[in-house]
Structure 1
Amino acid sequence: MRGTIRLATIIYAILIYGFIFLPVVTLVLFSFQATSFPIPPFTGPSLRWYETVLADSRLTSALGNSLIVAVISSALATLLGFLSAWGFARFYIPASAVLRGLITLPLTVSYLIIGMGLLVLFNAIGIPKSLLSAGIGHVVINLPLCFAILYSQMGEHQANIERAARDLGAREWQVLTLVTAPMLWPALFASFFLSMTFSWDEFVISFLLTRFETTLPVEIWNLLRSGLNPKTNAVGSLVFLVSIVFVLLFELTLFRKQRR
């Protein structure tokens, strides 16, 4: 009986992981296709389409734009999330629970709704579609996540260390930068890289808020409008690779913190 249950568990796990990763494996496999059609039989391996992608100025420009938007917006979202979490955790704020709920509210709202709202707002105040607009949108969707992560890590033991630093003559900005931030560096690091992962893959807000300078997901969508080909598979594989790197850095950071 126990052997049957174990076998069923293994089969179930294989089916679950196969369902999740089979599309990704297919995408990566046919990105090495030597012919112009990403269909069986497989005729690789060939780096032809990766060379084509890296030689395409539009794609490489979109890649650079995605990295710039992801890094800057994630850094800003992490900073604002840190300051917000610190303020709520260390000071008395009237209606604190309500205000915390408002900060995390974008986590429950569709990106389409957020993007449309930002588009209407930016049109009303005269901000054109650009990478700046997309970056602001990415801060809006990532700040609540950063706040939730950092707020959950601000315990009473850290508050005691901060009080000790003040008793020893440290000013408030010194407590914040030299005491609080170093104690929270794993959470700050994790917030930053998780935000980068979401910003790197984000399409809807980038599509709504950019015009001539686009991010890589938007450029991939433009490629898909002409149909599937190994070039789009190669671009998708590169995006998946970068996302995996971000997720691994996030996981390693949390793992090291748990060990400590």
Structure 2
Amino acid sequence: MPRPSTALSALYAAALYGFIYLPVVVLVLFSFQGGRFPIPPFNGPSLQWYGQVFADGKLTSALLNSLVVALVSSAVACLLGFLAAYGLARFRPRGSGLARAMLTAPLTVSTLIIGLGLLISFNMIGVSRSLLTVGIGHVVLNLPLCFAILYAQMGEHQVNVERAARDLGANDFQVMALVTAPMLAPGIAAAFFLSVTFSWDEFLIAFLLSRFDVTLPVEIWSLLRSGLNPKTNAVGSIVFLGSIVLVLALELLVFRKAAARSARP
């Protein structure tokens, strides 16, 4: 007979995971609803709403826009975050503490404030709203996160390897690109995929800075204005499946290889 503490731990774990994943289960279940409304009782299964998603030009265009914005803005944020982290960690210029504080400060600022500030700034310089401005907004949003992750990964144990590379004739760019970046590959991958996730889900900045070409969250918001629709459940299920695939790929291709390298004598 299990001890009370074990049973209580199991109950707590079940409640915790149920709280996290029950909305996802409901979302996926009612994406196969055969009826018009995604509410009980369940009537299905049916793939009609998935077919309607791929037949809807606005939804597929928004899905592609979100993918492009997420990938490009995350790559730019990771690159800028890596360069800033490398410069401040390795060269320690005067005022580096203030620079670090300024780079991480946007993490504490609401996305609404960031979006409004960018909207006013773009209007002042005459830049019209588009996917480009949304991408710039997502770089501003994700750059502090990328910097914080990569700066924390730049430990002193890497300095000797970089110093050895310089002794063998490598210049600063070669050390940064061929030595430091590969050693930080798990951190770079984590920063990139977190940025992709935040960019993919972000609504306020995308809503404020887009006009005709919109991202998926903005398009889903437009659909929900007319009420519940199983089509939005189908889109959410597709996005959830994509997220699972990305997490598994990251685990198999990056973190396990890094763990295997660190375990070698």
TM over 0.5, shorter chain: yes
> How far apart, in 1, do the equivalents of 2:58 and 2:2 lie?
57
Contact 1:190 1:254 in 2 (8 A): no
Q: 1:89 is paired with a residue of what secondary structure?
A: helix
Instruction: Letter of the 1:257 partner, please give it.
Output: A
Instruction: Letter of the 2:258 partner, please give it.
Output: K
Match of 2:13 in 1: 13
Q: Structure 1 residue 176 and structure 2 residue 187: aligned? A: no
> How far apart, in 2, do the equivalents of 1:109 and 1:256 lie?
36
Q: Structure 1 residue 230 and structure 2 residue 230: aligned? A: yes
Deviation at 1:84, TM superposition (A): 0.4
Match of 2:26 in 1: 26
> How far apart, in 2, do the equivalents of 1:17 and 1:99 lie?
40
Q: Structure 1 residue 145 and structure 2 residue 145: aligned? A: yes
Match of 2:50 in 1: 50
Greater Cα offset, 84-93 or 7-16: 7-16
> How far apart, in 2, do the equivalents of 1:128 and 1:247 lie?
35
> How far apart, in 2, do the equivalents of 1:102 and 1:255 lie?
34
- 1:86-128 deviation per Cα after TM superposition (whole angstroms, max 9, x unaligned): 0011102112112101101111111111111111111111111
> How far apart, in 2, do the equivalents of 1:122 and 1:142 lie?
19
Deviation at 1:229, TM superposition (A): 1.5
Distance verdict in 2 for CA 1:250–1:144, change over 3 Å = farther
> How far apart, in 2, do the equivalents of 1:141 and 1:80 lie?
12
Instruction: Letter of the 1:35 partner, please give it.
Output: G
Match of 2:112 in 1: 112
Match of 1:136 in 2: 136
Match of 2:165 in 1: 165
Instruction: Letter of the 2:223 partner, please give it.
Output: L
Distance verdict in 2 for CA 1:117–1:223, change over 3 Å = same
> How far apart, in 2, do the equivalents of 1:54 and 1:104 lie?
40
> How far apart, in 1, do the equivalents of 2:235 and 2:242 lie?
11
Percent identity between matched residues is 66
Contact 1:197 1:247 in 2 (8 A): no
Contact 1:197 1:246 in 2 (8 A): no
Deviation at 1:258, TM superposition (A): 4.2
- Unaligned runs of at least 5 residues, structure 2: none
Q: Structure 1 residue 85 and structure 2 residue 85: aligned? A: yes
Deviation at 1:251, TM superposition (A): 4.7
Q: Normalized against structure 1, the TM-score is what?
A: 0.95
> How far apart, in 1, do the equivalents of 2:89 and 2:166 lie?
17
- Unaligned runs of at least 5 residues, structure 1: none
Instruction: Letter of the 2:170 partner, please give it.
Output: A
> How far apart, in 2, do the equivalents of 1:16 and 1:195 lie?
25
The count of residues paired between Structure 1 and Structure 2 equals 260
TM alignment of 1:52-71, pairs within 5 A = 52-71=52-71
Deviation at 1:243, TM superposition (A): 2.7
Contact 1:194 1:250 in 2 (8 A): no
